[in-house]
Structure 1
Amino acid sequence: MTGSGFSTRESDQITLAVPHGTASRRTLWGRDELLDKLLAVVRDEGYEEDNGRIHVVQGLGGVGKTSVAVSVAHRLQRETDQVWWIGAQDASRFNGGLTALARQLGVPDKEIAAGRLADQLWRRLSALDGPWLLVVDNADDARLLDGPGRLALGTGLVRPHRSPRGLVLVTSRDGQTQTWGAHAVLHRLTPLGDGHGADVLLGLAGPTAGSREEAAELARRLGGLPLALNTVGRYLAAVGQRPARFRDAGETATFAEFRASLADGGAFPHAGTAAALAGIWRMSLDLLTERGHRCVRPLLEVLANFADAPVPLILADPAVLGEDEAFAGVSGAEIWDALQVLAGLGLMDLAAASGVDTVTLHPLVRNAHGSPGKYALNVRLLNRAARSEEAGIPEDVERWPLWSALTPHAVHALAFEDGSDDERLFLDAWAAANRVARSLTAQGHLSQARKLLEELVLRLGVVVGEDHPLALASRHNLANVLHDQGHHDQARTIYEDILTTQHSTLGEHHPNILTARHELARVLHDQGHHDQARAIYEDILTTQRSTLGEHHPDTLTTRHELAVLLHNQGHHDQARAIYEDILTTQHSTLGEHHPDTLTTRHNLTRLLYHQGHHDLAAAETAAVLSARRRVLGPEHRNTLVTQALLDIINAARAEP
């Protein structure tokens, strides 16, 4: 045996030739920029800072890393015969390839036998004239590249060199920078976009399989993964070449048919596709498990059970996960490490959007690992997140990005729960979804909020009954949305029904009763029943002042609505005095840019306009508009209302 662990005689049987086959003949869609950069290193075309460094093409299994390496190698073979290919799937193949290359470059057998293979090999590679390429393919377990040294420190069996026109190109699923060290250049290979994905499908299946638009839709459903695209394209081509009478039941011949077969998370109709993808994920997870990451499989399953949307990391709460037997004894540090290595292998992406840390699974990875029958843990995670201090209250504008990220998962949890006879689990799903609906309402997404609340009300009526406190809470929230949408009669009916139900059990001064009466008064006001609404407001205020105090937020809200009513009745001086007093309190407790403060400021500027103070009203309305655009966004309904008010005021100022 040699010092490399591979006998000299056996190394003679190792080929260093570049693989041929379909990958070398296909057009490599969507990879031109990367190919140009890698080729430029060898051609000495302006990438001096990358010369001598290890270039690692990294990404999800099946994303086309080996295809990129094959394409680079075949192009360079037209320019030089110094192109070598070593497989790194296992130690035997890798060590044998290094030994074969060393002998080809003239390293004496005695140097190899003495354990100096790496030093001698890289000395000779560094001294080569002209362009050369060494590909180390499928180095998913980068520990094989260490040898007696350390890959990350530049002393491994693969290391940087001093040749000005040499390229060391490694393909691997491992994209962690600490694996490769500072002397490596990582090229993250991502799935193809819809356009290039359509090119792949059309190139293989041909136009008889459907239109470009249909191909793009299927490519999107396949997540742009080249392995899936190529497998599906070849399958459709094979089916399409047979007359219809010779096709078996269930076989699909068009892009639209194949996509339809995948609807709602269905399995691939072609067993070869499913088997190939399952093998990819299994190998990746086996590798991580072997490295001691014991929770990667259950964690991937949990994440895959959430909606097909970015998953906020708040939903991977170690405290909740630790309550499940699959995570028994697993620490928060281990869960974080598992997320990092799963991302490093390309099975997921870790990113931050609008200040929310999220993880996104490739759709095919999600399909392969989701277990819809095991949703209980996901519901517990969702409920805990929705009640957490980090999430805060749904109406808090600063927390809206997080609530927006939680929304698809709350809706998905209800779909998971459908048909379950576990009442406690449903109520946990309800709690999260109800808070999400409140956030949607506050953000102005009324149609989305209404749809969710109608579903909750319907389901609660079946599970706990229409008069259950939780059902009444969702009905109340639904009435709020209906009111804001202008459906006053429907909202009024719900509020009156809630009051009838709760009066006998809670009493007229209970906070829930006061809230329902307050909302009923708002509807009555908008319906033109001003005296009725005013009587309710004044009665509520009497109770709130005695129990909560003059400056409690609930008291201020009622006073504000009373001021709006007085304003609309023409009692401008009374209304202005209330607005200004409320603003004094809100400025000191909430701040001048809080949404509630801005609402009061908006209504005060409207009153100033009605009093004839057009210039003052215009200046203040412009300030409120600027603040609402910044705080709520330019498309929020409150922002648009302020814009409309400013337009009216400016039009009045322009009149002669």
Structure 2
Amino acid sequence: MHLPSRPRVATRPVQLAPRPPQLVGRDETVAELRERLLGSDVRPAVVAVHGLGGVGKTSLTLEYAYRLQQEYDLVWQLPAAEPAVLSAAFARLAALMGLRELGADAADPVDQVHAALAARTDPWLLIFDNVPEAEALLPFLPPVGPGHVLVTSRSGRWPRDQGLELPVLDLVSAARLLLSSSGQDDEVAAADVVSELGALPLALEQAAAYMSETGLALSEYLDLLHHQRAELLAQGQAWGYRERVASTWQFAFERLARTSPQAIALLRLLSCYAHEAIPSHLLLSPLERWAPRELFRADVQRRRAYGRIPGPPARLLRDVHPSVLVMMRALPRDTLRINAALTALRRHSLIGPPVDGAVTVHRLVQAVTLDQLSRRVQRRWREVAAVLVEAVLPDDPGQKARWPRYARLLPHIRTVLGPTSPGMDKTARYLGASGDYRTARSLFQEIAAALAAALGPEEGATLTARHELALWTGEAGDPTAARDQYVALLPVYERVLGPRHPHTLTTRHNLAQWTGRAGDPVAARDQYAALIPIRRWVSGPEHPDTLTTQANLAQWTGQAGDAAAARDQYATLLPVRERVLGAGHPATVTTREQLAHWTARARP
């Protein structure tokens, strides 16, 4: 926060902190302030600029005042964090205006100033800097008069017609500010630093000051930021700020710990997730239905069902640290308490405005929140975050109706879930089913490698991940690699599960399919022909898997150049599918269409 300078002698009473050396990327906001003040139907007009600590609220209002001070008969900045300090500032203003002797106590200086401002005919401007709450300002706000009032506050609780939330800088402006303040010209490194610091003006100015003091290049600062973030955020002194990033939200943290422990617990949880919008109500919804130990029990059962844990579930539940359960119990567990916790965080602008049940948390707020905790406690909060994500992920990622939830949770899944988690497996399947084949392939590469290292290369979960990797490798446009992966996988399945196990037969089916798609329809036809008798023996002649294999044999027989044989095979298959599946079943319809296609191709 800027401290007001001593009053300067001038015809027009003016008291302002020094003007910011530069205000990048805020010209439109300065113009919006002017427009809202002039366009207000209420006098005095009030605009409360609120937002995250360090976002540049005071710098913005100061720049407005300096640009437009000639428009006002009086311009005065008042420190408003403490009522006693604000009252003393009013006494100084009253004395300068000739309303009382400095130090006199015959009348309330606030009332004196209000009366004098109401009597003026020319416009005036008051800036109340760092107001803690809207209610705290009410006794000091001039009730009437031809003036304008600007307020800076971290509180997000302002009347809709008064509040103006100041966001962080856009990335281009933030990079320009960093380059200008640091005196450097590495635009690539500047963009990376801006991304890491979330385009927060305080953090950018602090980084520039630190680089100027130490002679570090932007790329060197970025490396330090990656490896010693907590220590670095406590270094460097930004112009015009008393505080640093590491301490600027400390008061809010301490106050919340005293007055709203559920809010500080919620902030720690939210800090474990990604920087994108966090669906807080959705993630906390399991706590309404289940006790913490029940959620962990369900998590253990889920991992066991996915073959992720070989040990007995009872032992794993005993291994859950009691402090993790305590952390989960500290979270709000119903809609009213969740909203109360979010309101408390919003009061300090530690989160963005809730929209559709989701909130945003600035990446540096997340970083500083977690950096205050030991690594052990951080790890346990991340366990809580992971369990809550797993609890709200649908079990059927192939169903289109489930995709919006997966899409909403995707950045948080990637942040808190490891590659061996069931949720990561389901997410990779969702991505493949929804058409993002390349990302599905990439995730299954991670999953297969991690499972091989954790469980062994021939465990069932590892083999399933390898099977999925081959599938999505092919769908991503590399059928040859998919074929080769199935070639390598088939003998492992035959050795581990046996040559007639359903998983082995599915692998043989997919090997034939990708052999054909890799450009060898004759080999695909022969592989399907060899598979059919085994399918009939294992599943029966009219089982859907057997009929699918027959359909694929007919397809690749035709692709291999024998249209007549393909026609005859589809002709044999069609009545069976009509009887087993029904005439209107999609597989039956496809068979009928293929029969017509190959019949036409078989004609001389």
**TM band (smaller chain):** 0.7 to 0.9
What is the match of residue 148 of structure 2? 167
Tell me how far apart the structure 2 counterparts of residues 223 and 259 of structure 1 sit (CA, whole Å): 13
Tell whether the 8 Å contact from 2:428 to 2:440 is kept in structure 1 after alignment: yes
Q: How does 1:431-470 map to 2 (within 5 A)?
A: 431-470=422-461
The Cα of 1:172 is off from its aligned counterpart by 0.9
Question: Does the CA-based 8 Å contact 2:14-2:74 persist in structure 1?
Answer: no
CA apart distance, 1:142: 3.8
Map Cα deviations across residues 226-267 of structure 1 (whole Å, 9 max, x no partner).
Answer: 111112222323334xxxxxxxxxxx2x22221222125734
Write the distance in 2 (CA, Å) between the matches of 1:495 and 1:529: 17
Report the alpha carbon displacement of residue 498 of structure 1 after superposing the two structures with TM: 4.3
Is residue 490 of structure 2 the alignment partner of residue 496 of structure 1? yes
Whether the aligned pair in 1 keeps the contact of 2:128 and 2:150 (CA below 8 Å) is yes
For 1:325-344, what aligned pairs fall within 5 Å after superposition?
Answer: 325-328=326-329, 330-332=331-333, 333-344=336-347
Partner of 2:191: 216
C-alpha spacing 1:91/1:134, structure 2 compared with 1 (3 Å): same
Partner of 2:260, secondary structure, is coil
Distance in 2, Cα, partners of 1:403 & 1:60: 30
Write the distance in 1 (CA, Å) between the matches of 2:87 and 2:364. Answer: 34
Note the C-alpha offset of 1:221: 2.3
Residue-by-residue CA offset, 1:370-415 (whole Å, 9 max, x unaligned): 3654334434543553453x6342223343343344444444446x
Equivalent residues of 1:476, 1:494 under 8 A apart: no
CA distance in 1, matches of 2:205, 2:432: 44
Q: Distance in 1 between matches of 2:547 and 2:283?
A: 36
Superposition map of 1:206-285 within 5 A: 206=183, 209-240=184-215, 252=216, 254-263=217-226, 266-267=229-230, 269=232, 271-273=234-236, 276-285=244-253
Is the 8 Å Cα contact of residues 233 and 244 (structure 2) preserved in structure 1?
no
Distance 2:286 2:49 in 1: 32
Partner SS state of residue 139, structure 2? coil
Query: Structure 1 length as normaliser, TM-score?
Result: 0.68
Give the 4+ runs in structure 1 shifted more than 6 A: 13-16, 102-109, 112-121, 554-557, 579-582, 584-589, 599-613
In 2, the alpha carbon distance for the partners of 1:289 and 1:270 equals 22
Structure 1 residues 93 and 522 mapped into 2: Cα distance closer, same or farther (>3 Å)? same
Mapped to 1, the partners of 2:251 and 2:495 lie a distance apart of: 59
Which residue of structure 1 lines up, in the alignment, with residue 369 of structure 2? 369
Q: 1:475 is matched by which residue type in structure 2?
A: R
Secondary structure of residue in 1 paired with 2:445: helix
CA distance in 1, matches of 2:43, 2:119: 14
Gaps of 5+ in 2: 1-5, 238-242, 294-324
Alpha-carbon shift at residue 68 of structure 1 (Å): 1.1
- Residues 187, 605 of structure 1: CA spacing in aligned structure 2 closer, same or farther, 3 A cutoff? farther
Q: Which one-letter code corresponds to 1:262 in the other structure?
A: L
Could you say which residue in structure 2 is the equivalent of 1:157? Answer: 139
Query: Residue 189 of structure 1: CA displacement?
Result: 0.7
1:199 corresponds to which residue? Answer: 176
Q: Which residue of 2 aligns with 1:473?
A: 464
Q: Secondary structure at the match of 1:169?
A: strand
Partner of 2:524: 529
- Once residues 155 and 180 of structure 2 are traced to their aligned partners in structure 1, the CA distance between those partners, rounded to angstroms, is 30
**Aligned pair in 2 of structure 1 residues 322, 337: CA closer, same or farther (>3 Å)?**
farther
| Partner Cα separation in structure 2 for residue 537 and residue 383 of structure 1 | 44
Report the AA paired with residue 503 of structure 1: L
Verify the 8 A CA contact 1:308 1:363 in the aligned structure 2. Answer: yes
Structure 1 residues 574, 382: CA separation in 2 closer, same or farther (over 3 Å shift)?
farther
Aligned amino acid, residue 425 of structure 2: N
Distance 2:73 2:264 in 1: 44
Structure 1 residue 55 displacement after superposition: 1.0
**1:18 matched to which residue of 2?**
15
- Look up the equivalent residue of 1:455 and give its one-letter code: E
Q: Which of the residues 92, 114, 119 maps onto 2:84? A: 92
Q: 1:217 corresponds to which letter in structure 2?
A: D
Aligned length: 532
| 1:496 to partner: Cα distance | 0.9
Native 8 Å contact 2:286 2:391 kept in 1: no
Report the counterpart of residue 57 of structure 2 in structure 1. 65
**Residue matched to 2:421:** 430
Q: State the Cα deviation string for residues 442-485 of structure 1 (Å, max 9, x = none).
A: 23433433333233222222322223222222222222223433
TM-score calculated relative to the size of structure 2: 0.73
Aligned: 1:305 with 2:272: yes
Deviations 1:112-162 (A, max 9, x none): 9999987886566455322211211111344423xxxxxxxxxx3255855
Which amino acid in the other structure matches residue 375 of structure 1? R
Give the superposition deviation at 1:224: 1.1
Residue aligning to 2:66: 74
Change (3 A) 1:97 1:57: same
Q: Percent identity?
A: 26
Amino acid at match of 2:204: L
Give deviations 1:11-57, integer Å, cap 9, x for gaps: xx999963323xx1412111111211223455x4xx24576443110
Q: 1:600 to 1:114 in 2, by over 3 A?
A: farther
Q: Provide the rounded CA distance (Å) in 2 between the counterparts of 1:364 and 1:94.
A: 31
Cα deviation, residue 181, structure 1 = 3.1
Residues of 2 paired with 1:226 and 1:406: CA distance? 29
CA RMSD of aligned residues (A): 4.4
3-state DSSP class of the match of 2:352? strand
Classify 1:266/1:330 alpha carbon distance in 2 versus 1 (closer, same or farther; 3 Å).
Answer: closer
Paired with 2:402 and 2:198, the residues of 1 have a C-alpha distance of: 30
Q: Secondary structure at the match of 2:15?
A: coil
Query: Structure 2 vs 1, CA of residues 491 and 212 (structure 1 numbering), >3 Å: closer, same or farther?
Result: closer
Cα distance in structure 1, aligned partners of 2:279 and 2:228? 22
CA distance in 1 between counterparts of 2:588 and 2:34 reads: 63
Which one of the candidate residues 270, 290, 296 is aligned to 2:263?
Answer: 296
Report what 2:240 is aligned to: none
Q: Summarize the Cα distance change of 1:129–1:87 in structure 2 as closer, same or farther, 3 Å threshold.
A: same
Q: Deviations over 1:506-562 (max 9, x none)?
A: x9465x455444434433544433132145357547755789x76xxx788667656
